[in-house]
């Protein structure tokens, strides 16, 4: 891990904080502000290219998120850092409303600074 880019790391960590808070609030407008588009997601052996407007409110009603209430970071470790990009080794856990665990998922997040805006550019996880 590089420790030479403390400001970039702090900015990228703030993006991950905002990403999780907006997702948990189901605030898709705020959530989109935490991305740098196009953004890529690799999960369930499928690569998805995400553009603005891709996420819809009904995504919380079906599939993997149907029983989901909120998520929390369990680990966010910097793998590499530069002035405009930070790679994170992460693990997040999904929870039901009663606090029961749905599952924990290892993932890699790439947060970039583009035109002065820090956002999630790519993520790869074992989450469905």
Coil vs helix vs strand at 93: strand
pTM: 0.93
Domains of the chain: 6-125 (3.10.450.50)
* 35 burial type by CB count under 10 A (0-12 exposed, 13-18 middle, 19+ buried): buried
What's the pLDDT tens digit per position in 12-43? 999 999 999 999 999 999 999 999 999 999 99
């Amino acid at each position: 891990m590089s420790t030479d880019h403390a400001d970039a790391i702090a900015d990228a960590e703030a993006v991950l904080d905002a990403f999780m808070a907006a997702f948990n609030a189901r605030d898709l407008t705020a959530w989109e502000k935490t991305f740098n588009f196009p953004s890529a997601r690799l999960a369930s052996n499928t690569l998805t290219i995400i553009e603005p407007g891709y996420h819809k409110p009904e995504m919380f009603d079906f599939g993997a998120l149907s029983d989901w209430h909120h998520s929390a970071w369990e680990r966010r470790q910097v793998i590499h850092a530069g002035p405009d990009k930070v790679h994170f080794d992460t693990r997040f856990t999904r929870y039901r409303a009663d606090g029961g665990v749905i599952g924990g998922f290892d993932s890699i997040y790439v947060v970039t600074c583009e035109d002065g805006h820090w956002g999630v550019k790519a993520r790869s996880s074992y989450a469905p």
